[in-house]
Amino acid sequence: MSIEPLLSLGSHWLLLTLGDVLRYAVFASLTWLLLWRLFARPLARRRIHPAPPPAGQLRTEFLYSLRAVAVFSTLSLIPAIIAKAGLWHGPKIADSWGPLWFWASLVLMIVAHDAYFYWVHRLAHHRRLFRRVHHRHHLSRNPSPFTAYSFDLGEAVLMGSFVPLWILIVPTSWTVLEIFVFHQILRNTLLHCGIEVMPARADGRPRFDWLTTTSHHDLHHARGGWNFGLYFTWWDRWMGTEHPDYHRHFATTVQRAAPPANAAPAA
């Protein structure tokens, strides 16, 4: 067997990994610098926790996140290998379907990823799996943007499997994939940033109550049996897993009057 295909595959993996590491490092670092340094004073009243996470936690999260990114890149080799064998032409098919499919596939991919994340996340909280699969992530009780990919190996495999599975099943252009990854890491870092960035209504509820907020996900880190959603609050509300004090927690964070304890969630 020629060594050239292996060298080509290794180069491809290295480029994928370097690109993913750079993307993660830039997003996490910029989020941290902007929210906790540059705009620390005007955002002080929106901090969920009074003090930032310690430097040791940030370093640990960064290192574990680098390992997770390497796992993501390795899983991304699966479509590359299949394409090399001439068995997969998803991006070409997607491009031939025109601009309507371009935007539809992006929306579908985001909605599908949210559903995938919710159910895999709930599975990871099963008592027989949690210690081996999801424990590392929950060591961050005061999350930071660097918490986003601070995973055990098992969780990295589960979370990193969505993209290769999706693009192998659903024709998706490379540009759509890039936009999806941009959206995913942006939302993920903001969910863990420790400062509530979502706008609030006059009554203290989130203005876009169908979107998850930093407060929503912070409650998950504080009380792990609730708030499993990633982008949207739909699944938690449909399945009864949204924390009953979520709206009060959000209102307190944004320094608004808390809604009544028996208030029903906004549609």
pLDDT tens-place string over residues 42-66? 888 899 988 889 999 999 999 999 9
DSSP letter (8 states) at residue 200: B
Average pLDDT, rounded, for the chain = 90
Tell whether 215 is covered by a domain. Answer: no
Tell whether 173 is covered by a domain. Answer: yes
Tell whether 246 is covered by a domain. Answer: no
Looking at residues 61-83, what average pLDDT do you find?
A: 90
- What backbone torsions phi and psi does residue 200 show, to the nearest 5 degrees? -120, 155
The strand pairing partners of 200, in sequence order, are: 206
pLDDT tens-digit map of 91-116:
999 999 999 999 999 999 999 999 99
**Cα separations in angstroms, 235 against 13, 127, 210:** 34, 21, 10
Q: Is the pLDDT of residue 7 over 60?
A: no
Stated pTM of the model: 0.89
| C-alpha to C-alpha distance for 140 and 70, rounded to whole angstroms | 21
Number of structural domains the chain divides into: 1
**Cα separations in angstroms, 102 against 37, 38, 116, 235:** 38, 37, 21, 25
User: What's the confidence (pLDDT) of residue 256?
Assistant: 47
**Cα separations in angstroms, 53 against 47, 192, 215:** 12, 11, 16
Domain span at residue 108 reads 4-195
Tell whether 190 is covered by a domain. Answer: yes
User: What's the confidence (pLDDT) of residue 9?
Assistant: 65
Q: Is the pLDDT of residue 265 over 70?
A: no
Is the CB of residue 179 less than 8 Å from the CB of residue 94? no
Is the CB of residue 174 less than 8 Å from the CB of residue 218? no
